[in-house]
Structures are given as C-alpha cells and as structure tokens.
Homo-oligomer: A and B are copies of this chain.
Amino acid sequence: MNEQGQPSVRRKGTLVSKVTDELRDQILSGAFPPGARLPSEAQLTQSYNVSRTVVREAIAVLRADLLVDARQGSGVYVRPPSPASVDKRLDRESVTSVLELLEIRTPLEIEAAGLAALRRSPAQEERIFDCQARILACIEAGRPIRDSDFALHLAISEATNNPGFAEFLKSQGVSAIPQAEIVTESDQARQMVYFHQLNAEHEKIVLAISNGDEEAAREAMRAHLKGSQERHRQLLRGGLLRQDGKASRS
C-alpha cells in the first residue's frame, strides 16, 4: 500500500475509504452477520496491510453509520439491521403505517407492472421468474419469504427501466413487504393457504409481464396489492386478539 508509482490510484480514494467500503460490503453481504465480531484492529491491519490508524478511521465511520458497535476490551460487533424497527413492526402503530404504505405502493406498483410488461428485457424477464421461483422455494422450505418477496417486487420495478421505481422500493426497504413476517407467527394451516394464494397472485403478475400484456399485468398487480390490503385489514380486525396473545406471552 505504500508503493510509490501509483499516485493515480491514490487520487481515486483514500485507504480509509477503501477499507471502509470493503468492511461495509462484508457486513451487508452477510459475511459478518448481525452479532458477529469483526477481526480485531491488529488483525485487520495485517489482512489489509495498512496502519492501525486507517483501520480505526474505517471503523469510526462504520460505527457512526450504526453498522457496528465497538466495545472497548472486547471487540467490534455487527449490529442487527434495525433492532427497534423490528419490534415496532409488530405493534399496532406500525401495522397502521403498513396500510398507508400499501396505499402509496398500490398506484406505483400497478404502474410499474404495466411498464415492466412493456419494457422488460429477456434478462429482466428471467430475473423476475427466478425471483418468483425463489419465493416458492422458501415456501416449500418453510423459510421466511419476506426477502424473496421484496426481491420479486424489486425486479419488477427494475424492469420498468425507470430507476425511480426501484429507488422508491429500496427507500422503503423490506418494510415494503411487512405482512409476511407478521403472518409467519400465526398458525400453520392458515399460513400455507396464504402462501399459496400469494404465490398464485405472483404467478399471474409474472405471466402477464412475460406475455408483455400491460393491462393484465396492471390488473394482476392491482388484485395482488388490494388483496394485501384486505389481508392486512383482516390482521387488524383479528390482530387485537393475536396481540393479546402476544402480550400474555411476553
């Protein structure tokens, strides 16, 4: 890293930014999952071949970004993504804002589905199919579908080839797909019915996009999201009971 003769490399960015980005990538990619302890400063200076100052500055950045938590004498630990928001997602107030979010998402994603049907490239089409298959795989494996559900919606937004649609979804994060996580904690039979209905709705959307049928894609997405709103209202109407159950559990 002290090689003279690479001044142009130096101008492209500092060692601190480089180490920061690499550590950040490792955290976000799951190489260091939440709760994991990063290598010590001494180890990082060796593995990145930089001084401890550079490592400390990089960690200071990640710390300020609330990606990590540094404990003196112990180590640097990856923080969970949004600890407070996880709990908040399960209380009554957040369920209300889920409906508001759906109210905004509905016109946007209906438009996105229609545009995706008109504009998707073959690669984007395959990507959408992949995402749908991944949801189905998660359902069959009994794993949470939230991330893969989000990925499908994101792939559709990207197939509009107007970056603003994907940007909007990303800005909401996986909270844009909140209902699955609430439902994962209810009874199994009702859950399977829900998952297969969800999958059927996704399939309709995906086929319409694949067929390049704008109107069918819009209608399928509209039905899907209106269905999500209804399912949420049912949760709210049955949700008081379920939350009482939780209160007794906690």
Q: Which residues of B contact A56 (CB under 8 A)?
A: 53, 57
A and B contact pairs by CB, cutoff 8 A, 11 listed: A16-B60, A20-B64, A53-B56, A61-B61, A103-B164, A104-B165, A104-B168, A107-B107, A107-B110, A168-B168, A171-B171
Q: How many residues on A have C-beta within 8 angstroms of the other chain's C-beta atoms?
A: 28
Pair B104/A164 contact, Cβ less than 8 Å? yes
Closest 7 A/B residue pairs (Cβ): A107-B107, A57-B60, A107-B111, A61-B64, A104-B164, A100-B162, A57-B57
Q: Hey, which bits of chain A sit against chain B, CB under 8 A?
A: 16-17, 20, 53, 56-58, 60-61, 63-65, 100-101, 103-104, 106-108, 110-111, 115, 162-165, 168, 171
Question: Which secondary structure dominates where chain A touches chain B?
Answer: helix
Q: Which residues of B contact A165 (CB under 8 A)?
A: 104
- Tell me the complex Cα distance, A111–B103, Å: 9
Q: Which residues of B contact A17 (CB under 8 A)?
A: 63-64
Chain B residue, CB-CB nearest to A105: B164
Chain B residue, CB-CB nearest to A10: B72
Q: Which residues of B contact A100 (CB under 8 A)?
A: 162-164
Chain B residue, CB-CB nearest to A165: B104
Task: Looking at the assembled complex, report how far the CB atom of A20 sits from the nearest CB atom of chain B, in whole angstroms.
Answer: 6
List 9 extra interface pairs beyond A103-B111, A103-B164, CB under 8 A. A20-B64, A53-B53, A60-B61, A104-B108, A104-B162, A107-B110, A107-B111, A108-B108, A168-B168
